[in-house]
Amino acid sequence: MEATVDTQINSKSNAIPMVIVAGLFFILGFVTWMNGSLMPYLKQVLQLSPFQASLILFSFYIAVTFTALPSSAIIRKVGYKKGMALGLATMMFACFLFIPAAKTQMFALFLVAQLVMGAGQTLLQTAVNPYIVKCGPEESAAVRVSICGILNKGAGVVAPIVFSALILSGFSGLVGTELSQEQIDGMANSLITPYIGLGLFIGVLAFSVTKSPLPELESEAGSDGINQTGLIKAALKVPSLTLGVIALFFYVAVEVIAGDTIGAFALSLGVQNYAVMTSYTMACMVLGYILGILLIPRVISQQTALSSSAVLGLILTFAIVFGDNQSYAIANTLLVPFGGAKLPDPLLLIAVLGLANAIVWPAIWPLALSGLGKLTATGSALLVMGIAGGAFGPLFVGLASTVPADQISQPGAAALAQQGGYIVMLPCYLFILFYALKGHKMKSWK
């Protein structure tokens, strides 16, 4: 393994690693937030129910549960840089799996491709996140994560637009209509070329990472003769880490709900350009990250930003669930006068959740990893496991969005059911608020 560095990368040489890792955050964001367009697209092409559509996200995020800890073991064995390259190579393979899935239109193959993509991004996440935390002073870690978050969520703004331009451009006016087999074939086949291009690009990036000047973080492998189980037990003895994992689980649940189900909700409301709705949420997240960079820690602490985000999330949850989807007051005030789309208030409030969610990830990571030392890689892997919340958040929204049998034929019933399903975000924000106020301070279970 290459020569290791101290707990933090030398401040004189952290610029290049920061740039490289920031680029990887962009790729992670592009692949991850393209799901917000892919989900309603496949829902339309394969004629899926809300619950079936939620499995597209479930298969992507559930991979974290099975691959986070093995990812930590891989990184300890081959190093952070090679771990990043292996994660990218796995993502490239997943892109190519979309080709037979699109050709056969088999839902199961799409789920397998999503599962492999999730495994690849988990390995990459486990490797890149510690770099951002360790590239400078701990008290300003949230700012560095926010910078990478801007790229990550900025990719989330770009990805749906690219998806719509490359894949949906030739299929306008089909929302709310019954598709012919020819139209279904055409929509499915339109996925092939973009995913081939994405796979080739990621493959080139993987090769480039192996040749990059990234230094290694200090590894805990073999330093004390502790095995994987011992490392996990040692890490879980730290309450601030364990509770941080749970908080991240709930956070990713609401983040994915806001970013990836908004398109499906728009489709149920009859919005023609549903595939770009994720861009609205990501734009709000980018705004939140910019505010984080400006305010943390100059004006407010990481803890205060986290609690404020949770409170805003709670307020928006109630406004979404009980809002009138026939009201366009927000759009008429902020969008229509400037040539924007006329969209229902609850739909736009889901996008505003991006503002509430933006600071949560960058605030929890440094609070949870504080003082872990050589357990950082294991702690990082456990935190990455929290991404599994992205599998269950949309799943519960899908289950809560089931239309009663006696109301299926009623106009707008599907949209109203899905709108009510967003109530599942309430306990998520409540736990995040608990972690911000008390959980991150706990150093002992006694």
Tokens of 207: 């090769």
d(CA 405, CA 190): 35
Q: Is the pLDDT of residue 2 over 60?
A: no
User: Which pLDDT value is given to residue 6?
Assistant: 43
For the four alpha carbons of 209, 210, 216 and 219, in that order, the dihedral sign comes to positive
User: Which pLDDT value is given to residue 146?
Assistant: 67
171 lies in some domain: yes
1 lies in some domain: no
5 lies in some domain: no
Question: Which is nearest to 363 in space by CA: 149, 157, 126?
Answer: 149
4 lies in some domain: no
Tokens of 409: 């034929």
Read off the pLDDT of residues 218-242 as tens digits, 9 standing for 90 and up. 654 444 445 667 878 888 888 989 9
d(CA 290, CA 295): 9
- pLDDT band at 20, cuts 50/70/90? confident
pTM over 0.75? The answer is: yes
Read off the pLDDT of residues 136-151 as tens digits, 9 standing for 90 and up. 666 666 667 667 777 8
* Owning domain of residue 370: 11-216+227-441
Q: Which carries the bigger pLDDT value, residue 42 or residue 130?
A: 42
User: Which pLDDT value is given to residue 440?
Assistant: 84
Mean pLDDT calculated for residue range 319-327: 93
User: Which pLDDT value is given to residue 9?
Assistant: 46
User: Which pLDDT value is given to residue 136?
Assistant: 63
Displacement of CA 41 from its chain's centroid (Å): 18
Mean pLDDT calculated for residue range 408-423: 77
Range in 5-14, 63-72, 333-342, 426-435 the model is least confident about: 5-14
Q: Which carries the bigger pLDDT value, residue 370 or residue 282?
A: 282
Read off the pLDDT of residues 68-119 as tens digits, 9 standing for 90 and up. 778 878 888 888 888 889 999 999 999 999 999 999 999 999 999 999 999 9
Q: Is the pLDDT of residue 287 over 60?
A: yes
CATH of the domain at 316: 1.20.1250.20
Q: Is the pLDDT of residue 317 over 90?
A: yes
Q: What is the DSSP string of 36-100?
A: HHHHHHHHHHTT--HHHHHHHHHHHHTHHHHHHHHHHHHHHHH-HHHHHHHHHHHHHHHHHHHHH
CB atoms within 10 A of CB 217: 26
User: Which pLDDT value is given to residue 197?
Assistant: 94
Range in 158-167, 324-333, 347-356, 369-378 the model is least confident about: 369-378
Question: Which is nearest to 415 in space by CA: 255, 273, 264, 257?
Answer: 264
307 lies in some domain: yes
User: Which pLDDT value is given to residue 226?
Assistant: 53
User: Which pLDDT value is given to residue 216?
Assistant: 63
d(CA 292, CA 312): 15
CB atoms within 10 A of CB 308: 17
361 lies in some domain: yes
User: Which pLDDT value is given to residue 232?
Assistant: 82
User: Which pLDDT value is given to residue 80?
Assistant: 80
- Given a contact cutoff of 8 angstroms between Cβ atoms, the answer to whether 389 and 61 are in contact is yes
3 lies in some domain: no
Read off the pLDDT of residues 149-181 as tens digits, 9 standing for 90 and up. 778 878 988 999 998 888 877 666 666 667 778
Q: Kindly report the average pLDDT of the chain as a whole number.
A: 84
d(CA 14, CA 17): 5
Range in 195-204, 283-292, 329-338, 412-421 the model is least confident about: 412-421
Question: Which is nearest to 268 in space by CA: 5, 87, 43?
Answer: 43
Fill in the DSSP letter of residue 237: T
Give the total number of structural domains in the chain: 1
Q: Which residues have C-beta within 8 Å of that of residue 45, sequence separation ≥ 6?
A: 105, 179, 184, 187, 188
User: Which pLDDT value is given to residue 412?
Assistant: 66
Read off the pLDDT of residues 210-219 as tens digits, 9 standing for 90 and up. 887 766 666 5
Read off the pLDDT of residues 293-309 as tens digits, 9 standing for 90 and up. 788 778 888 889 899 99
User: Which pLDDT value is given to residue 211?
Assistant: 81
200 lies in some domain: yes
Mean pLDDT calculated for residue range 187-197: 91
Q: Is the pLDDT of residue 426 over 90?
A: yes
Q: How many residues does the chain have?
A: 446
- pLDDT band at 376, cuts 50/70/90? confident
Q: Is the pLDDT of residue 8 over 50?
A: no
Of 36-45, 82-91, 360-369, 370-379, give the range with the top mean pLDDT. Answer: 82-91
Q: What is the DSSP string of 5-24?
A: --SS--GGG-HHHHHHHHHH
User: Which pLDDT value is given to residue 1?
Assistant: 35
- Given a contact cutoff of 8 angstroms between Cβ atoms, the answer to whether 282 and 374 are in contact is no
- pLDDT band at 367, cuts 50/70/90? confident
Please state, for a pLDDT cut of 70, what percent of the chain lies above it: 85
Question: Which residues are paired to 4 by β-bridges?
Answer: 216
- Given a contact cutoff of 8 angstroms between Cβ atoms, the answer to whether 403 and 268 are in contact is no
User: Which pLDDT value is given to residue 267?
Assistant: 87
Q: In one letter, which amino acid is 1?
A: M
